[in-house]
Structure 1
Amino acid sequence: MRLFAGLFLLLAGQALLAAVLPGAVLVWNLDRGNAAYMEAQDRQALAAMTTLLGAELKAGVPVTNALQVVQSSFRDNSLPGDPAPPLRERIELVGPTGTHIAGPTVNGERVRAERPVKLDGRIVAVARIVRAPPANAASFAFVRDQVIGIVVAMSAIFLILLVAGYFIAGRWAEPQLALFRASRDIAQGDYGADVTETGAAETRATMRNLGRIARSFDRLETARRTWLVSVSEELRKPVHALAERLGTIREDSPPTDPEAFDEVVEGVRRLGEMAEDLHAVALADLGRLPVRFATVDPCALIHNAIWTSGKRAKAQNVTLEPGNMPQATVPVKWDGARIEQLFTALIENSLRYTPGGGRIQLGLEGQRNAWRLIIDDSAPGVDIGLAQELFEPFYRTTTEPGQSVMTSGLGLATAQAIVEAHHGRIEASRSPIGGLRVTVILPAAPPTA
């Protein structure tokens, strides 16, 4: 919209200049032409008057009275048969040497015109116009009507150009806006954005190229998601088989080094969790994360998650405990297995950034037709300014060598995928116990279709 407004204002300014400048030139030319016309009329009237003055002098009228006699012959302030403006009180009569004879003298004004008065071929005086013509209603009305006509014509031209500029701006801006919207949508990951080719040849070519880029990215993204699903599927099978084999070995023949064996078992368990997280994120990317809703008790799920992750928390000297929770059973319709995976991912994320001696709390609060699952950890936690990046797959804030090997960076991305599959939302904020608070808001039951 700003593109259209800017272009329209530019064209409107040009239209204004195109209307005002010629109008100003016409008004100036009108004034200049009117002045030239008045001077020409004065010269014509002066020529007629000098002829009359010569005739009066030839008839014996003294030169000092000739001007008064001639001017008295005017009827209605005009020369007989002459449409020129009156010359009364505007003519000075001087001698050949410039001495004043009759009429007004020059008073700060230029001599507008002069003409010799001859008697028998000899110059006996000079008549000259020393004052501008007086303004009268007729001349004022003429100039006014001409100016009004010019203003009306220029206003009409301006309006026509303004309307044309509006349509030109809209016609030119629409393809640019379409190109902007398409590029914005593609940059945000919507590779199916409308890239209809419109506008000038260069704009159509740009949109055509943009469409090719979008289709190429779409193919790559689809392939990436498909590969992730395939890789995670293939990874889960041997990991599960290895975990079962280790369990069988523990039952059949106790290991000679239980501590080392437990480390292997724990590593396989973590590898299995990573495979499950990767599988969930990959399926969520494809919009195919399976969710089976059933009636479960979130309080029981929280206690189960605390028991499952308690061993690792104890190994890190971190207290893992329940926070504020309802005392009674809370029936909701969720996918219990996915919610346990959600809790595991959230606890794993908190354990990653909680140092020894810290604590992690899991709580549950009621909200209108929904429940808030809250996990708090103690300081230092994670910078809240990075809240949006926390939910990106493979994101880590730690720089400690070796820790990235033990963490997948998929925890919160997995949690977000599970939450979205339950039609909820997940948020990160500062925890009242000093670290990070992750809040999951889930409806008590899935929305009906």
Structure 2
Amino acid sequence: MIVRLFAGIFSTLAAQALLASVVSGGLLVALTYQGKALETASRDRERLDGFVATVVEGARAGRHLDAFVNELDARDSRLRGRVSLISPGGQWIAGPTATGPARAERAVELNGHVIALARIIGPPILTDSERRYLSTLYIGIAAVVLGLFVGLLVAGYFFARRWSRPQIELFRISREVVHGDHDVTFDENVPAETLATMRNLRRIASQFSRLETARRTWLVSIADELKRPTENMGEHFIQLCAVQPALPAALLGAIEEDTHRLIHMAEDLSAVALADLGRLPVRFHPVDPRALIHNAVYAHRKRAEGQGVRLETSTLPGYTILVKWDGNRIEQLFGALIDNSLRYTPRSGRIVLGLESSRDAWRLIIDDSAPGIDVMLAQRLFEPFYRSSDRTDESAASGLGLATARAIVEAHHGRIEASNSPIGGLRVTVVLPANPPTA
């Protein structure tokens, strides 16, 4: 954008410089041509006056008029073939004939009577020296025009830099604000309107920074406060199962499901909040991704079977793999992804987990046969509390599962993507480096 802004201003000034140079050069050429034409016309009239005087003297001596034209052609190279003598009645006497208007005309009078009209016809004839003079003059004009254009071009470059600098500075500040750098500084030696806009941006950035800091602090505090009662609920549930007489199984099952949901919600909220602050703790140590996948399938198979959904694996390597990941976080990642798929996959549906090699990384793939998604909105699924209208859930999900997955993936210096699955639903692809950087 910065280059386009400068280029736009400079190209406009360059076009104006070219127009000014061409117009100036054209005017100089036109004036030079007009001056030379006036000079030539004046010279031709003087020579024609001399010719008429010669004709009058010869006519007094009784000479024929046509002889004077031949003598003129022999002695005057400038008027050669350009002078005609015509009778007062319009009849040709001597010289070339022409139907166009005369460039100059003089009457030949003898004893008070007009005996002929002398006319100059045809364009003027330039000598070699005159042609060289005009060529030198035109080359000089071209050099002046070129120098003027280069000078205007250099001036336009500096003007473009000066005019684009405030806009470039404004663009830099707005980009820093968008990228989260709210401590903006700028040069105040800019036009008043631009300076006022920069100051407004700085105030907006300062206010947004305070709100963002407060939001992150509240989110972490809420996550911490939520974890304590959810842990207590798990202990209370164990005690509740030992009560005699035993409570109905359906009631215990509902309490257990809600307790697990609250525990997972607290864990997800804590992970998202810490990742938002850049403080999500990860501890890298050698693990086998295949074992993590099998553990995830085993942990969620009972719930999947209860919903009539098949949870299976595909494209798993047949040998042991060692990578440096945080095993607990990766299990949390698988739990979030499987939980998201179970929430939307209908009965008789499928959820398939796969693992593929990708150079120095591994690609984890989870497909489900739930309703598909709009590809244009696929990446928004990883935003906290975002719910796709195509994958509506009536079970009051927290909306943090996929956001938690993204937080864990980013902590491992990987990437996560969503797309349509070949089995009809959502495909989530996670690419993690085998040895993420620890710093």
1:347-386 deviation digits (Å, cap 9, x = unpaired): 1111122101112233344555543333222243444443
| Secondary structure of residue in 1 paired with 2:368 | strand
**Which residue of structure 2 lines up, in the alignment, with residue 424 of structure 1?**
414
**How is 1:23-422 mapped onto 2 (pairs within 5 angstroms)?**
23-57=25-59, 60-62=60-62, 64-65=64-65, 68=67, 72=71, 77-78=75-76, 86-94=78-86, 97-98=88-89, 100=91, 102-104=93-95, 106-119=97-110, 122-132=112-122, 133-187=124-178, 189-191=180-182, 196-197=187-188, 199-253=190-244, 255-326=246-317, 330-398=321-389, 403-422=393-412
How far apart are residue 162 of structure 1 and its match? 2.0
1:128-173 deviation digits (Å, cap 9, x = unpaired): 2232333432332232222222122112211222222233223323
Contact persistence 1:114–1:126 (CA under 8 A): no
How far apart are residue 126 of structure 1 and its match? 4.3
Q: Following the alignment from structure 1 to structure 2, what is the Cα–Cα distance between the partners of residues 47 and 53?
A: 10
Q: Following the alignment from structure 2 to structure 1, what is the Cα–Cα distance between the partners of residues 391 and 157?
A: 61
- Structure-2-length-normalised TM-score: 0.87
Q: Following the alignment from structure 1 to structure 2, what is the Cα–Cα distance between the partners of residues 270 and 318?
A: 19
Q: Following the alignment from structure 1 to structure 2, what is the Cα–Cα distance between the partners of residues 393 and 99?
A: 103
How far apart are residue 278 of structure 1 and its match? 1.1
Contact persistence 2:378–2:419 (CA under 8 A): yes
| Letter aligned with residue 141 of structure 1 | R
| Secondary structure of residue in 2 paired with 1:320 | strand
How far apart are residue 220 of structure 1 and its match? 1.9
| Secondary structure of residue in 1 paired with 2:75 | coil
Q: Following the alignment from structure 1 to structure 2, what is the Cα–Cα distance between the partners of residues 445 and 70?
A: 106
Q: Following the alignment from structure 1 to structure 2, what is the Cα–Cα distance between the partners of residues 255 and 397?
A: 41
**Which residue of structure 1 lines up, in the alignment, with residue 437 of structure 2?**
447
Over 3 Å counting, the alpha-carbon distance change for 1:129 and 1:437 in structure 2 is same
Q: Following the alignment from structure 2 to structure 1, what is the Cα–Cα distance between the partners of residues 48 and 323?
A: 112
Q: Percent identity?
A: 50
Mean Cα deviation higher: 422-431 or 158-167: 422-431
Mean Cα deviation higher: 157-166 or 133-142: 133-142
Contact persistence 2:324–2:435 (CA under 8 A): yes
- Structure-1-length-normalised TM-score: 0.85
**How is 1:15-30 mapped onto 2 (pairs within 5 angstroms)?**
15-30=17-32
1:24-64 deviation digits (Å, cap 9, x = unpaired): 2222222222222122122223333434444455xx41263
Q: Following the alignment from structure 2 to structure 1, what is the Cα–Cα distance between the partners of residues 90 and 277?
A: 110
Q: Following the alignment from structure 1 to structure 2, what is the Cα–Cα distance between the partners of residues 367 and 41?
A: 91
Aligned length: 436
Q: Following the alignment from structure 1 to structure 2, what is the Cα–Cα distance between the partners of residues 305 and 70?
A: 118
Q: Following the alignment from structure 2 to structure 1, what is the Cα–Cα distance between the partners of residues 84 and 147?
A: 48
| Letter aligned with residue 293 of structure 1 | F
Q: Following the alignment from structure 1 to structure 2, what is the Cα–Cα distance between the partners of residues 407 and 32?
A: 89
| Letter aligned with residue 5 of structure 2 | L
Contact persistence 2:78–2:126 (CA under 8 A): no
How far apart are residue 192 of structure 1 and its match? 5.2
| Secondary structure of residue in 1 paired with 2:16 | helix
Over 3 Å counting, the alpha-carbon distance change for 1:107 and 1:416 in structure 2 is same
Contact persistence 2:73–2:80 (CA under 8 A): no
| Letter aligned with residue 64 of structure 1 | H
| Secondary structure of residue in 1 paired with 2:242 | helix
Over 3 Å counting, the alpha-carbon distance change for 1:31 and 1:443 in structure 2 is closer
Q: Following the alignment from structure 2 to structure 1, what is the Cα–Cα distance between the partners of residues 391 and 93?
A: 114
| Letter aligned with residue 239 of structure 1 | T
Q: Following the alignment from structure 1 to structure 2, what is the Cα–Cα distance between the partners of residues 267 and 411?
A: 16
Over 3 Å counting, the alpha-carbon distance change for 1:70 and 1:276 in structure 2 is closer
Q: Following the alignment from structure 1 to structure 2, what is the Cα–Cα distance between the partners of residues 347 and 444?
A: 22
Mean Cα deviation higher: 159-168 or 361-370: 361-370
Unmatched 5+ stretches in structure 2: none
- Across the aligned residues of Structure 1 and Structure 2, the Cα RMSD in angstroms comes to 3.1
Contact persistence 1:301–1:336 (CA under 8 A): yes
How far apart are residue 8 of structure 1 and its match? 2.5
Q: Runs of at least 4 residues of structure 1 off by over 6 A?
A: none
Contact persistence 1:111–1:131 (CA under 8 A): yes
Q: Following the alignment from structure 2 to structure 1, what is the Cα–Cα distance between the partners of residues 249 and 187?
A: 66
Contact persistence 1:360–1:377 (CA under 8 A): yes
Contact persistence 1:105–1:130 (CA under 8 A): no
**What is the aligned counterpart of 2:15 among 10, 13, 16?**
13
| Letter aligned with residue 262 of structure 1 | G
Q: Following the alignment from structure 2 to structure 1, what is the Cα–Cα distance between the partners of residues 403 and 365?
A: 17
Unmatched 5+ stretches in structure 1: 79-84
